[in-house]
Structure 1
């Protein structure tokens, strides 16, 4: 396919340039031979518009297509770009876009509701198109499993949009683990204590009744693989996050920005147990107003003993604090045998606030290493797509297992029950309904094909 050939050419060009000890012209924002990465932006408002505009403005890209279930949102993004994507074609259906232009697209950004990440990413990957998918990676444990497999099968560049994984926060955490500063961690407390969109709804008894849709909206594509219900503003725009059918609650939203480096560099993998410690205002349709859930991980090797992550969400559901340990409304505290760390989310670095080794390490912290990849997340993705960076910092091989932890947590929040998980069999062994939720709803009729592409 044309886009694969183009990527191979760019990778070869980057190698030649490196041998010549000169920067590739792409790295200088120049257009090699008139060729750029042909970009499609899928999801053009809110977060999708933010990541899409960042990609459009990048010197490596040429935006050829904009896709949104409400075409006026795509046209609105086009106007904001001041001529940078005037020639981009506008679609309201990603399937139609890929059918017409798949051989002309090299990479795409996907900034849509959680339940729609999977079919769009899977179709793009199967066509050899590189994908940037906003967090969380997918809507179910099984979808993550299939996307991890597809990344390997189709040999495409993939990035999940947890921006802190291309920042000093990642470099610091990794270097502190390597230097033995972060070791023997026994407990992590993490939280998201801001109000959520669904909190004012109270005790939801049923799905909302039909309202008038935005003009031109393709509601069938919005629903995608998930159940199709009557349009209501409690779904779109933005309110989908609170519904089990479409979103992943506060944990799926903020966990990727809070726990990514903890998960990766402490080699956590998947927990053997998830405990629903407390559930505030449980509901059969939407996420609770507050939860405390705990994840128990087995020993992983030297300096990596059994440990627990405690997650707190809900406005008043705060993790424990002390004189030294004060976590913000969104953040974490990490407790090892002899040091205590406090940090925030996204790109926020850690501070050492207590422990027996505090005075020893304070003056002996390693300098942050230079990254072999860009420390701007979108830049890293586009450079990897162009063959200029060796890998994406948050590839699906990295971000997929991380997201699966969140998916297990969301099941515990939904059911309010403790779960036993067998990581080898990939099954919840003590609760049949919970085990069924690893897959979630059966795909809607006509949308089954995406689950066969991995």
Structure 2
């Protein structure tokens, strides 16, 4: 369900036809007002999907607005452990007919027959039980990135989706339905992107934990729990911690016990197309290169981690180096040019993207044996650098389909049998498992040798045991048996 745009029209719409170069890219090929209206009418004819929502505030509220815009989502039930929060109150006001719950298990028990799909927008560590229950009860699932907090939990969700091929699953890396998804695929198939040997993925904006005391020797002390919040239920499968504002709201991402740091938060927006279309699978070696402010409680102030991937068919072995932290930049190749933040990028670390002044904005630099490429994050398109080389190759660049649905529309259309999901668990899951292995290397500050066949760590027994995490809290064991 994709239109085609010719290279000539493509350049004309980007304002670069005179230069003969595919520079402005698919971001400039946005649908006209008429096409947008036609799409709206087409969606209206399809009806609506009844949806249950878990996690209604902050990012959950942002995504809910996007689902509302599609006109194809009928939210019949909503759930959150902090119902008095501003975001939850906004969600409740927006959907006055939806039944509201604190415990998602009760929502499934009472409303399970009233909805076909579930959207999970909870903290990283609590994705797992919501997703497993949804798949077990025959519900289509959209889950925020990263898929889960541990390698094993991701594996269980992947396998649950495989057992239910009739169910639609979609990971929440929303750029995976935008311009770069189509462009990267087309450039790879046309041989423009080939023989890639190295990628630098960088995210150097400030993070929530920057400024924390790295000499910490215990978890934060107990503080009063917000009025009306079920703090115990917030933990789901994870072991209990006393409440502190450095956990909630949003700051849970800072801590190994709850989140996945910058890598888990941004990796799925940066290397998603690289991982899928270069068929990377899982790495065989993950090496901590440099950490600043390393400790065993929360993520480092900056991290450099290298992932090695073997040869795949006729594609050479390659590696990806991850760079995060203020000032921790990868080498910048000559002719790199300007780095801009895409319009579709949300707030970063609690501040607007515009306020995050950095040398280069989040993105990737990709090296092949003949060319160097750069791109930003989310749906940003790929460019050949330097600019002169891209101009020289303009006539060689293939036609690229233009998206006819965004990520949220794509999920709902897939549920209705109109499209195929772009980030199903078979694609999204292994991508997120790469991040799980990277976070383990961060936490241990040790190299990991990973057997891709057995999916075990072979050089560190403690790390291998960590693949499955600590036992779940009492009362939550059932989700690991579904």
Confirm or deny a common fold (TM above 0.5). yes
Where do 5+ consecutive residues of structure 1 fail to align?
A: 1-22
Match of residue 219 from structure 1: 231
Q: Could you give the per-residue CA deviations for residues 225-262 of structure 1, whole angstroms, max 9, x where no partner exists?
A: 11111111110000000111100000000000000000
Query: Within the alignment, does 1:349 sit opposite 2:381 as a pair?
Result: yes
d(CA) in 1 for partners of 2:388, 2:306: 26
Distance 1:177 1:161 in 2: 24
CA contact (8 A) 1:282 1:289 kept: yes
Matched with 2:397 is 365
Counterparts of 2:219 and 2:39, CA distance in 1: 54
Q: Does 1:162 align with 2:173?
A: yes
Q: How many residues align?
A: 421
Once residues 199 and 441 of structure 1 are traced to their aligned partners in structure 2, the CA distance between those partners, rounded to angstroms, is 27
Of residues 297, 317, 335, the one that matches 1:306 is 317
Secondary structure class of the residue paired with 1:409: helix
The residue that corresponds to 1:395 in the other structure is: 424
Is residue 188 of structure 2 the alignment partner of residue 173 of structure 1? no
How far apart, in 2, do the equivalents of 1:89 and 1:26 lie?
Answer: 29
Q: Is the 1:53–1:77 Cα contact (8 Å) retained in structure 2? A: no
Query: For residues 359 and 50 of structure 1, do their structure 2 counterparts lie closer, same or farther at Cα, with a shift above 3 Å needed?
Result: closer
Matched, 1:437 2:466: yes
Q: Secondary structure at the match of 2:401?
A: coil
When structure 1 is superposed on structure 2, of 221-230 and 349-358 the one drifting more is 349-358
Q: Could you state the TM-score of these two structures normalised by the residue count of structure 1? A: 0.89
SS in structure 1 opposite 2:206?
coil
2:89 corresponds to which of 76, 79, 84: 76
> Which secondary structure does the structure 2 equivalent of 1:200 belong to?
coil
- Aligned partner of residue 56 in structure 1, secondary structure: helix
- Inter-partner Cα distance in structure 1 for 2:40 and 2:377: 34
Q: Which residue of 2 aligns with 1:189?
A: 200
CA distance in structure 2 between the partners assigned to 1:45 and 1:24 by the alignment: 29
Q: Distance in 1 between matches of 2:98 and 2:93?
A: 13
What does 1:51-450 correspond to in 2, within 5 Å? Answer: 51-73=63-85, 75-78=88-91, 81=94, 85-155=95-165, 156-203=167-214, 204-302=216-314, 304-325=315-336, 328-354=360-386, 361-370=393-402, 374-389=404-419, 391-450=420-479
Q: What is the alpha-carbon root mean square deviation over aligned residues?
A: 1.9
1:7 matched residue in structure 2: none
What is aligned with 1:16? Answer: none
In structure 1, distance between residues paired with 2:52 and 2:281: 33
Q: Deviations over 1:305-353 (max 9, x none)?
A: 0111010111021101132236623111000001000111001101100
Give distance in 1, aligned partners of 2:84 and 2:301: 34
Query: Following TM superposition, by how much is the alpha carbon of 1:56 offset from its aligned partner in structure 2, in angstroms?
Result: 3.4
- Cα distance, 1:358 vs structure 2: 5.4
Q: Counterpart of 2:400 in 1: which secondary structure?
A: coil
1:356 Cα deviation (Å)? 11
- CA–CA distance in structure 1, aligned partners of residues 311 and 291 of structure 2: 28
1:68, 1:258 → 2: CA distance? Answer: 29
The separation in 1 between residues aligned to 2:446 and 2:387, in whole angstroms, is 34
Q: 1:206 to 1:104 in 2, by over 3 A?
A: same
- Between the aligned partners of 2:123 and 2:233, the Cα distance in structure 1 is 11
Distance 1:305 1:159 in 2: 29
Structure 2 match to 1:12? none
CA displacement at 1:53 relative to structure 2: 2.5
Task: Evaluate the alpha carbon distance shift between residue 79 and residue 128 of structure 1 in structure 2; reply closer, same or farther with a 3 A threshold.
Answer: closer
Query: How far is 1:298 from its partner?
Result: 0.6
Cα distance, 1:362 vs. partner? 2.8
Match of 2:12 in 1: none
SS of residue in 1 equivalent to 2:396: coil
Cα drift, residue 448 of structure 1? 0.9
The secondary structure found in structure 2 opposite 1:369 is: strand
How far did residue 27 of structure 1 move?
Answer: 3.1
Distance 1:58 1:296, change over 3 A: same
